[in-house]
Structure 1
């Protein structure tokens, strides 16, 4: 007796009450928006083929800032856990994406609340809270001017790989 919208948002189809070919169970009462933000489809309640569980009640913006998709509650295939409530700006400053709470593949932990300006001074990106792959620690609160005096970038607090301490 219950029907769900198709992935395109046009037409309806009977609810599948059991496991799908992706190994996820569909809920007849919950619907999620498609990645483009147009139409909806039944939310997956259990682990997807990526090993992450989407939450039917929380949605995250796409990296382009257009459309929304179900937030992944658990560790992604990159080994980081996005937070469904916090979003970070993309490096270009347009759109947002779920912030990474844990250590990245560069060995730096990103703070979902702090953002640094890009070297050109346009756009912002999540600041690295710990030592970078250059061996210098970035401060999310301090910025230095570029050599040309235009734009700014995160200042290095400790000794660089050249053995000099920036001021």
Structure 2
């Protein structure tokens, strides 16, 4: 494990963008009218970021091309990065372990200020890939990890989500009709 360093940290500050593809169609489906605002918050964060960046792409990242403003903000943040500018295939549920192992391989000091954003963050339900990434980093010994306000929260859109059930209408085909 890396030691905390008191000298200038070449990786500092570091932004980890978790599963940006989930901010695309998945956000449209889950956040409805709030999806654009959730994407815009992350886009604004990325457009203002000038430090190191690590993007953890999940299996929905192939949708980024359909959301060019988000895709451009990611590409621009990567191109502005002074040191670390990596993109990793990091599907759920291995994404946190992949991030921790990558930072360890690079020798990122444990006291590096790390900010997290992306999808999803649901601390009230102990759920979401941003939350699990934060937990993984803290468990690995990183001491300065925070979740940014731009992290997409499903529960903002539906505060009673825990109790809401989705029902799906399936046409009744009757006996012996292919079901």
Establish whether TM, by shorter chain, passes 0.5.
Answer: no
Q: Which has the higher contact order (CA 8 A, sep 6+)?
A: 2
User: What TM-score, normalized to structure 2?
Assistant: 0.23
Q: Which has the larger radius of gyration?
A: 1
- The structure carrying a bigger helix percent of its residues is 2
- The structure carrying a bigger strand percent of its residues is 1
